Amino acid sequence: MESLYTKLANYQKENIYPFHMPGHKRNEAMFTMPNPYAMDITEIDGFDNLQDPEDIIQDSMDLAAELYHAEHTHYLVNGSTVGLLAAIAACTNKGDKVLVARNCHKSVYNAIYLNELHPIYLYPHYFVDIGINGGIRPENIEELLKTHPDVKAIILTSPTYEGVLSDIEAIAKIAHSREIPLIVDEAHGAHLGFHEAFPENSNIKGADLVIQSVHKTMPCFTQTALIHNNSVLVSEERLIRFINMYQTTSPSYLLMASIDRSMQLMAGEAHLIFDEYAKKLDWFYNEMKALKKIRLLDASMVETFEWDPSKIVILLNHTELSGPRLHDILLDKYHIQLEMVSKEYGIAMTSLGDTLDGFKRLAKALLEIDDSIAVAEKESKDLLLTRPTMRLNVYEAYQRETEIRPIMDCVHKMAAEYLYVYPPGIPLLVPGEEISLPLIEEILSYQEKGLVVKGFIDSKENTIKIVKE
């Protein structure tokens, strides 16, 4: 049997271009380091301690705070997941009510479970013509806060996987007028704020707690992230307590060093590097104006929301292609690996680690595919977030007795586990929610399109776990 190490070693020799995370893009010409075994240490003299930083690690985090325009910044080696868990715990007490964007990552729902919170869901705007979810409108938050004035935190994802940003500045003003902290999952926005070609980050726009996955769009190793605290509403001491509670007590110095190297790079050459990156992106989008059937997401399609051009969203809803089929063609014929696909679109994730040759390969591939396919009008319904009825909170559902049934036999039953398409990991169904026939049909349609639906007990038999009634 082939080992994981051998498989990775062999894979790096293949000519497959990574339009996916991590942000260093395996670009050895741009980013190098000595043998990692020579640098892998524990908390020895002179190297500080992430659980109680006072010296070299604290200095590095202070530099990151300066670069990201934050009051306080903490390094995370367990991903944005640990940042979200800590942020939500720091802002709430057991049983509190929170406003939560329905398109938040599964880790937010896990925090709701762990803290026994009562979620009030905010649904993002849906662009019917292109089949993607947008941001959260400030007026929707204002309206819900009138009905639920006892909310203790607001939790949003901005930018989305597709690069659509909510109006964080306006939402922060609404939240702060009621002394409610705003938590922004900015996992896909660690590159924001460094160059005028990209939107500003949520620290600048007034968010209280901002969590960023530096491994996604910056030259850092997988699993690395940051959490920024800019708030007078959230105790820094309380936040640190929860970070240390959720984060490993044996942090990898290699992971921390990769964040530090990225911060040093940004401190010295950010504008120059991002200038080159922006020029490559601009070249690519100009080349793509020749597309006739395939479309690329752009600012004109997202109305009043901001858009991050680093996410190349390839729209297929006017073509005969599906997202999974595009993925297969790009990988098999052109040796290009996308970040993710949905039913009617695919995402090529870019970063400052991308090469001009990589952009040229993708441009050539898309133009050739565009020439070879036919037009086909299809209904734009791609990861449309349904609105199930919540009959139990997550923590209540997890305490109930469960049973396993085929999903088609579960109409009007309550889910006992999450069902979600991965990537991106946004729940379609949350424990305690009622299962409807339209939702079942939607979930099965994702499967038929070749998307990976997580949460089935047996994906061949389509069985799921439900609350026994």
Q: What's the average model confidence in pLDDT over 397-414?
A: 96
Query: For 263-285, how does the pLDDT look when each residue is reduced to its tens digit (9 = 90+)?
Result: 999 999 999 999 999 999 999 99
The whole-number pLDDT of residue 124 equals: 92
Q: How far is CA 342 from the centre of its chain?
A: 15
| CATH number assigned to the domain comprising residue 102 | 3.40.640.10
The whole-number pLDDT of residue 452 equals: 85
* Summary mean pLDDT of the chain: 95
Does residue 159 have a cis peptide bond before it, meaning omega lies within 30 degrees of 0? Answer: yes
Q: What's the average model confidence in pLDDT over 396-401?
A: 94
The whole-number pLDDT of residue 1 equals: 87
Query: For 437-455, how does the pLDDT look when each residue is reduced to its tens digit (9 = 90+)?
Result: 999 998 998 888 888 899 9
Domain membership of residue 58 (yes or no) is yes
Domain membership of residue 344 (yes or no) is no
Does 234 lie in the same domain as 96? yes
Strand partners, 172: none
On the question of pLDDT at 383 being above 70, the answer is no
- Residue 228: φ, ψ to 5°: -110, 135
Cβ neighbors of 160 (< 8 A, separation 6 or more) are 103, 124, 132, 133, 134, 135, 188
Surface-to-core class of residue 270, CB atoms within 10 Å of its CB (0-12 exposed, 13-18 middle, 19+ buried): middle
Cβ neighbors of 223 (< 8 A, separation 6 or more) are 77, 78, 79, 215, 255
What confidence category does residue 245 fall into, taking pLDDT thresholds of 50, 70 and 90?
A: very high
Query: Range of 435's domain?
Result: 394-467
The token pair that represents 309 in the structure block? 């051009």
CA pair distance 443, 384, nearest whole angstrom: 11
Task: Tell me which of 264, 286, 306 is where a domain ends.
Answer: 264
Strand partners, 19: 338
Number of structural domains the chain divides into: 2
The whole-number pLDDT of residue 382 equals: 52
pLDDT exceeding 70 applies to what percent of the chain?
A: 98
Q: Which of 344-353, 413-422, 444-453 has the highest mean pLDDT?
A: 344-353
The token pair that represents 22 in the structure block? 């991590």
The whole-number pLDDT of residue 128 equals: 84
Does 400 lie in the same domain as 251? no
Q: What's the average model confidence in pLDDT over 128-134?
A: 88
Domain membership of residue 19 (yes or no) is no
Q: Tell whether the torsion through CA atoms of 185, 187, 191 and 197 is positive or negative.
A: negative
The token pair that represents 435 in the structure block? 């299962």
The token pair that represents 236 in the structure block? 């820094």
The whole-number pLDDT of residue 45 equals: 97
Surface-to-core class of residue 178, CB atoms within 10 Å of its CB (0-12 exposed, 13-18 middle, 19+ buried): exposed
Domain membership of residue 367 (yes or no) is no
Task: Tell me which of 231, 264, 297 is where a domain ends.
Answer: 264
CA pair distance 213, 192, nearest whole angstrom: 12
The whole-number pLDDT of residue 447 equals: 87
What confidence category does residue 198 fall into, taking pLDDT thresholds of 50, 70 and 90?
A: very high
Does 407 lie in the same domain as 258? no
Domain membership of residue 207 (yes or no) is yes
The whole-number pLDDT of residue 458 equals: 93
Domain membership of residue 173 (yes or no) is yes
What confidence category does residue 371 fall into, taking pLDDT thresholds of 50, 70 and 90?
A: very high
The whole-number pLDDT of residue 379 equals: 61
Domain membership of residue 90 (yes or no) is yes
Task: Tell me which of 216, 246, 264 is where a domain ends.
Answer: 264
Cβ neighbors of 258 (< 8 A, separation 6 or more) are 219, 220, 221, 224
Describe the crossing of helices 356-372 and 253-287 by its angle, rounded to 10 degrees.
50
The whole-number pLDDT of residue 160 equals: 97
CA pair distance 379, 130, nearest whole angstrom: 9
| CATH number assigned to the domain comprising residue 455 | 3.90.100.10
Q: What's the average model confidence in pLDDT over 245-256?
A: 98
CA pair distance 179, 366, nearest whole angstrom: 48
The token pair that represents 442 in the structure block? 């939607």
Q: What's the average model confidence in pLDDT over 423-436?
A: 87
Domain membership of residue 29 (yes or no) is no
On the question of pLDDT at 193 being above 60, the answer is yes
Q: What's the average model confidence in pLDDT over 5-15?
A: 94
CA pair distance 234, 242, nearest whole angstrom: 12
